[in-house]
Structure 1
Amino acid sequence: MTTNQENTLILVNLGGPRTSKEIEVFLKDLFSDPFVFDLPLPEFFRIRLARFIAKKRAPKVQKTYESMGFGGGSPLVDETEKQGKILEKILTKTTGKTWKVKVAMACGYPNIRESEFTKPNANTFYLPLYPQFSRSTVLSTLAILETKFGECPVGSGGYIPHFGLDPKFHQITAQFIFEFFTNKLQKDLFLHYPEEIPNCDWKDLDLVFSAHGVPMRLIKKGDRYMEEVETSVSGITQELRKFGYRGEVHISYQSKVGPAKWTEPSSIQKITELANKGKHVAVYPISFVSDHLETLEEIGEQFKELCLVSGGKSFVRIPALGIYEPFLTFLAERVLEADQSIHHCICKERGGESLNHCRFK
């Protein structure tokens, strides 16, 4: 980054339909991805099945999106764009250079496959917003970029690796949770800011870190996602203890689709178990950094109802980090470090396989 050329940062997220018209396209992109919809089937049949499922699920999913109050779509793209605008200011101010931050989605729009998202290099950086590595998120994104550019971005100088194992991320997340419970967050910066407060000392409640689940088939292929979630939760818990938190911590997995075995325990199982014991429950979305369908609807509505109906004394949804300034400052620091520390194949190490055009083979 020694030239006066404008620097471009591309924030990559999984995606979400911005309107009801985009739902089926989003689902087709999602289920067509072999790293997401991973089945032991011939590719031509897997693709046909993926498109069939997307078309069949679209009407049901549409009703859920309509209930959220965001015009029939997901707020994920808008929330990611908010993060991008603030990151743009932080990077420009920190470096004294011009930065442009763009948003790209692996599924739906604006689609990462479009020509405006150019090859990573010394002035163009890709930052996937997935804290933990998974074949279904990070490896999937890298595979898309490899197909587009003919090389894996890891080690190119323009790729920022996932950040969920970073001790600084653990400290910032713990600080965020502490500020949430002590009413120090600026409420209008968050979507559907939770009005509920635990009717107990927050330091004693049961804290569930809910991560997006993945099929166990991916774990058996070498995906170290569960291990990374556990490392993130362990680090955050250690930092929370410094703020006086003394309650029990739990890890669970949400958003299962289909009959296959997924990561466990499920969040439904864990929350029901705690509620049956009459616990005060709080849920934090450990694998998400922006609020959307899984946090606002699944955690904020479905899990809340489940907890209270099953005997829980109280339930609180903790927001995702969103535009929390210490978090975005942390991401800016990661961008400026780029991937200078990467000298090996993180895809093989964390996901179980290298891509075809890995520069470290």
Structure 2
Amino acid sequence: MGFGGGSPLVSETSKQANAIAKALEKITGEKWEGNITMTCGYPDIRKLNRDFLVPTKQNILLPLYPHFSRSTVLSTAKLVEQTIKFCPVSYEGWVAPFHSSQVYLESIRDLILDFFQNRLNRKDFLHSDSFQGVSNWETIDLIFSAHGIPIRLIEKGDRYREEINSNVENLKRLLYEKGFRGKCHTSFQSRVGPSKWTEPNTITMLEQLGKNGVKRVAVYPISFVSDHLETLEEIGEQLKKIAYNNGIAEYHRIPAPGIYPKFIEAMAKIGLESIQSSKNECICKKLGGHFPNLKSGECPINF
């Protein structure tokens, strides 16, 4: 498997931005433009013009993180703040983590079911040549693999793990309503460094399932919204080998949503919801991470 010397993340995110803009135009009848920026890599958020980073009714900022973490949503907000000189998270046009949104949940449920039943448009996904219908999909073991974070963040109050678990429970409920009866598991991948991270690791999960005699597994990257090295290479290749080496005979990589039409429509609707009214609360503090005013100990946002 090759990626031409780099990750497809930027090109895939650009596709999403353009697709969401078109979905917004369809819903509102107005002209929208989709632009992207990265906190790590290019185009660098630190070099973006201020006008692109101020959330308003006409300028929606959509961090593509379904779940809150200090390491993702909060760090993104602080980078935006460096440019615009105020924290954006409670203003119209800033999209909060959307893991509990019903339209988002239903889009992911349908993505998984369409994958199982071989109904996805392969042109919408990378490395889709490996896609195939899953026989007896109703009873396959389903692993929801999330990007791990250091435990020290959880100990500081970060609710990321809690939101992952809630997301899994909501998806399980929706899948079971549609006939799925397989066992669902939650695990974490992409650990870096020697410190303790969220567990169980997806490697450990696959080893344990194989040891327990499980023969059929599908893996969905629950914290990712587009395919890149951590889904295509880590889940698609590395974890597949581990599964086979531990006696699992059938292994499926379910793609991240990317430009799956129902997901794109959900993102457009969630974006529009963000401009209906300001949140009037410190979202970061509520979700387990914020940088308060050092003198007062309170969030510096004036409501």
TM-score, normalised to structure 1's length? 0.78
Aligned to 2:72: 137
Match of 2:211 in 1: 276
> Could you say which residue in structure 1 is the equivalent of 2:281?
344
Which secondary structure state, in structure 2, belongs to the residue aligned with residue 143 of structure 1? helix
- 1:346, 1:303 → 2: CA distance? 35
Q: How far does the alpha carbon of each residue in 1:142-166 deviate from its partner, in whole angstroms, 9 at most, with x for none? A: 0111122111102221211111111
Runs of 4+ in 1 over 6 A off after TM superposition: none
Report the Cα offset of residue 124 of structure 1: 1.6
Instruction: Determine if contact 1:152/1:355 at 8 Å carries over to the other structure.
Output: no
Distance in 1, Cα, partners of 2:234 & 2:212: 22
More strand by share: 1
Secondary structure of 2:286's match?
helix
Is 1:98 aligned to 2:35, yes or no? no
1:198: Cα distance to partner? 7.5
Give how far 1:330 is off.
0.8
C-alpha contact (below 8 Å) 1:199/1:314 kept by paired residues? no
Q: What residue ranges of structure 2 are gaps of 5+ in the alignment?
A: 294-298
2-structure distance, mates of 1:322, 1:104: 16
For the 8 Å contact 2:99–2:167, the answer to whether it is kept is: yes
Matched, 1:285 2:221: yes
Q: Which residue of 2 aligns with 1:37?
A: none
1:312 equivalent in structure 2: 248
| Residues 7-29 of structure 1: per-residue CA shift (max 9 Å, x gap) | xxxxxxxxxxxxxxxxxxxxxxx
Shift of 1:180: 0.6
Specify the alignment match of 2:301 in structure 1. Answer: 359
Which whole-Å deviations, capped at 9, do the CAs of 1:238-267 have from their partners, x for residues lacking one? 010012110110000000011100000000
For 1:188 and 1:238, how far apart are their aligned partners in 2? 29
Q: Residue deviations 1:68-89, cap 9 Å, x none?
A: 4221110011001011111111
Kindly indicate whether the alpha-carbon contact (under 8 Å) linking 1:167 and 1:235 is maintained by their aligned counterparts in 2. no
1:181 equivalent to 2:181? Answer no
1:335 aligns with 2:268: no
Residues 276, 312 of structure 1: 8 Å contact kept: no
Equivalent residue number for residue 22 of structure 1: none
Letter in 2 for 1:73: G
Matching residue within 194, 203, 209 for 2:144 = 209
Per-residue deviation, 1:304: 0.3
Matched pairs, number: 294
The aligned amino acid for 2:285 is K
Contact 2:217-2:251 at 8 Å conserved across structures: yes
Structure 1 residues 113 and 259: CA distance shift in structure 2, 3 A: same
What is the aligned partner in structure 2 of residue 172 from structure 1? 107
Equivalent residue number for residue 2 of structure 2: 69
Q: Secondary structure at the match of 1:126?
A: coil
Shift of 1:120: 2.1
With over 3 angstroms needed to count, the CA separation of the structure-2 counterparts of 1:325 and 1:200, relative to structure 1, is: closer
- Answer yes or no: is the 8 Å Cα contact 1:289–1:321 preserved in 2: yes
- How many angstroms does 1:354 deviate by? 4.1
Q: Offset at 1:167? A: 2.5
Residues 255 and 294 of structure 1 are in contact (CA less than 8 Å); yes or no, is this contact kept in structure 2? yes
Q: Which amino acid aligns with 1:94?
A: I
Change (3 A) 1:115 1:169: closer
What does 1:53-92 align with in structure 2 at a 5 Å threshold? 68-92=1-25
Aligned 8 A contact 1:198 1:314 in 2: no
Q: Residues 183-224 of structure 1: CA distance to partner in whole angstroms, max 9, x if unpaired? A: 111012100115265875111111000000000000011100
In structure 2, relative to structure 1, the CA distance for the partners of 1:80 and 1:199 (3 Å cut) is closer
Aligned equivalents of 1:176, 1:332: Cα separation in 2: 17
Q: Does structure 2 retain, via aligned residues, the 8 Å contact 1:203–1:246?
A: yes
After superposition, the Cα gap between the structure-2 partners of 1:355 and 1:326, relative to the gap in structure 1 and judged at 3 Å, is farther
What is the CA deviation profile of residues 282-340 of structure 1, one whole-angstrom value per residue up to 9, with x for unaligned ones? 10000001000110000000000000111012110000001011111111111112252
Give the letter for the 2:37 counterpart.
A
Distance 1:107 1:123 in 2: 26
1:345–1:358 contact (8 Å) kept in structure 2: no
Separation of aligned partners in 2, 1:186 and 1:257: 34
SS in structure 2 at match of 1:113: helix
Aligned CA-pair RMSD: 1.7
Residues 207 and 282 in structure 1, CA contact (< 8 A), matched pair in contact too: yes
